[in-house]
Structure 1
Amino acid sequence: MGRNVKKPVRRRGAKRQAERRGGRKKKRVVFDVVTTTILIVAICVFAFSLFQLVKMLIPYYSGGKEYDKLKDKAITIETTKDSEDTSEARFKVDFDVLLQENPDTVAWIRFDEPSIISYPVVKSADNKEYLTKTFTESDNKLGAIFMDMKNKSDFSDKNTMIYGHNMKIGGEMFSQLKEYEEESFYKEHPNFYIYTPDGKTRTYTVFSAAVVKDTADQYNLTYATDEAFESYLKMCKEDSAYDTGTEVNAQSQIVSLSTCTNVREDERFLLQGVLTATDGGED
């Protein structure tokens, strides 16, 4: 009779063990399914992020290559036999090549090395076309360096405004203008240069570097009198991050270079230089 009592106990114990094993197996299956699902989702997120990154970088790469090819075709740097220093070299621009490529060409702008700001300048009937179109008119977020539509193409205005993007990646276009927020950088590189189709090389010396609103008075290009222009220049110098000591007056001709700060949408970084030398040119 003892045996009859013990057998059901063993069966119940075996049943419980089987149920426990079945429960553990189900938990492992559920765990494996959840783990696999998470892994698949993670892979999908990574793949999508990688796709988005590549999609974002392609325009920078293709646009940069486009401008590199253009420089190879249109720019010649003549160095002396005694020095390979490009600061002592003669920088020459083939405007025939540029104008054939794009009739909107009005100039070439260059900063001293190691700056990579060295680009053709274009001008169109509005100030929007070249925001998303390169010099060769390819649709690209790099855009082009362009002159304000209200300015004269020969840089004869009191103030010539030029725009360019501040790229978040790559450093192309006007991205390096922001370096001029530091006075030490200005002291190392006080000048920039404008080359024009008439063969002239204009040297501009920085007199103001400021963060301004996109609606600031600095973007005014019309001055009724010499006094009004002098007041404008005084405002620019007062708003500058530092005093360069560079003199400007009613007879000055300036170039204003504008780019985004990438901090606030309504902010711009404005670097302004005054014409201090003109070399070359056609008689």
Structure 2
Amino acid sequence: MSKRNRKPNRKKKNKAGNIISTIILIIAVCVFVVAAYQLLLNVLPYYQGGKDYDKVKALAVQTDNKGDKDAKTSDDTDLAGFQVDFATLLEMNPDTVAWIRFDEPSIISYPVVKSQDNNEYLTKTFTANDNKLGAIFVDKDCASDFSGRNTLIYGHHLNYGGEMFSRLNEYADESFCKAHPYFYIYTPDGKTRTYQVFSAGVVKDTADNYILSYATDEDFMKYIELCRSTSNYAVDVEVNAQSKIVSLSTCTNVNEDERFLLQGVLVEEK
């Protein structure tokens, strides 16, 4: 067969190859577009929720470092510059009971609410928007004024963004706790409560660490010893029968039945 007769076959092969390449490219582009769209659907709620809370902070929190310079915590941190406008918060959401704040992770600075059940704020933000971020909320069986022996507070551990209690597990590291041993809770009565971390670790969601009722002082102290025993490390801070503690709970995003539980004891109230 002559070269002249073979040329059309080469052209057909090249044309077929170009068609296959084009089809593969179109499929790849479609896969990319679908993946990008799905990623956007997953990430967008976190972005919107974060913006929602940014607006709340802008309206209700003042951090101008003005005020009584003698207002110090046990670690000599100036709290005078952080002020919460609870009148604004209560107008926005009557379920408001507090504001929680950490020096680090500083992203943990949010209003705290309480509902008649423990489901409402799993998917509803402080401003009542349906969103994966939900809200930071007190267990329905706890006193709203933090007067109980143990006040349990929940917050989500999210897959994106680091908001809510996503970075609470930084306290799994003892060195981090030593560097940032305190967190603060502000309440509508004008009080600022400083808590020192005494326990941090992963527990089952059905563990006795979630018991909230103690018939006697002895029962409460047994509970405290349990919490200390499940902590990743020991902290030299006194917790006695008269102490008031706050327990912060979030998912681990590792096993569905596990929670990261951080607990602090009240060391100062102003």
TM-score range, shorter chain: over 0.9
Q: Distance in 1 between matches of 2:66 and 2:110?
A: 24
Aligned residues between the structures: 262
**Corresponding residue number in structure 2 for 1:32:** 18
Q: Is the 8 A contact 2:248 2:263 kept in 1?
A: yes
Q: Distance in 1 between matches of 2:268 and 2:41?
A: 44
Q: Distance in 2 between matches of 1:203 and 1:274?
A: 8
Q: Is the 8 A contact 1:223 1:229 kept in 2?
A: yes
* Cα displacement (A) at 1:148: 0.4
TM-superposition CA deviations, 1:118-161 (whole Å, max 9, x none): 00000111111111110001011111000001111011111110
Q: Distance in 2 between matches of 1:87 and 1:29?
A: 73
Q: Distance in 2 between matches of 1:157 and 1:277?
A: 16
**Corresponding residue number in structure 2 for 1:10:** none
Task: Say if 2:159 is the partner of 1:160.
Answer: no
* Cα displacement (A) at 1:76: 1.2
TM-score (norm 1): 0.88
Find the partner of 2:213 among 211, 222, 243: 222
**Corresponding residue number in structure 2 for 1:5:** none
* Cα displacement (A) at 1:22: 3.1
Q: Which runs of 5+ in 1 are unaligned?
A: 1-12
* Cα displacement (A) at 1:185: 0.7
The 5 Å alignment of 1:245-256 reads 245-256=236-247
Q: Is the 8 A contact 1:165 1:260 kept in 2?
A: yes
One-letter code aligned to 2:177: Y
Q: Which secondary structure does the structure 2 equivalent of 1:100 belong to?
A: helix
**Corresponding residue number in structure 2 for 1:88:** 78
One-letter code aligned to 2:123: T
Q: Is the 8 A contact 2:135 2:164 kept in 1?
A: yes
* Cα displacement (A) at 1:49: 1.1
TM-superposition CA deviations, 1:21-42 (whole Å, max 9, x none): 3332222222112111110000
Q: Distance in 2 between matches of 1:44 and 1:95?
A: 50
Q: Distance in 2 between matches of 1:222 and 1:114?
A: 30
**Corresponding residue number in structure 2 for 1:59:** 45
Q: Distance in 1 between matches of 2:24 and 2:65?
A: 61
> What is the aligned-residue RMSD (CA, Å)?
1.7
Q: Distance in 1 between matches of 2:215 and 2:266?
A: 21
Q: Is the 8 A contact 1:210 1:240 kept in 2?
A: yes
**Corresponding residue number in structure 1 for 2:177:** 186
One-letter code aligned to 1:228: D
* Cα displacement (A) at 1:88: 2.1
* Cα displacement (A) at 1:111: 0.7
Q: Is the 8 A contact 2:202 2:260 kept in 1?
A: yes
Q: Which runs of 5+ in 2 are unaligned?
A: 70-75
**Corresponding residue number in structure 1 for 2:125:** 134
Larger radius of gyration: 1
Q: Distance in 2 between matches of 1:184 and 1:115?
A: 17
Q: Distance in 2 between matches of 1:31 and 1:156?
A: 76
* Cα displacement (A) at 1:78: 3.8
**Corresponding residue number in structure 2 for 1:125:** 116
* Cα displacement (A) at 1:113: 4.3
One-letter code aligned to 1:116: I
TM-score (norm 2): 0.92
Q: Is the 8 A contact 2:105 2:168 kept in 1?
A: no
Q: Distance in 2 between matches of 1:54 and 1:108?
A: 31
TM-superposition CA deviations, 1:236-281 (whole Å, max 9, x none): 00110000111112211110000111111111100000111110xx
The 5 Å alignment of 1:267-282 reads 267-279=258-270
Q: Distance in 2 between matches of 1:223 and 1:17?
A: 97
Q: Distance in 2 between matches of 1:114 and 1:219?
A: 24
TM-superposition CA deviations, 1:190-235 (whole Å, max 9, x none): 1111111111111111000011111111111111221111111001
Q: Is the 8 A contact 1:78 1:89 kept in 2?
A: no
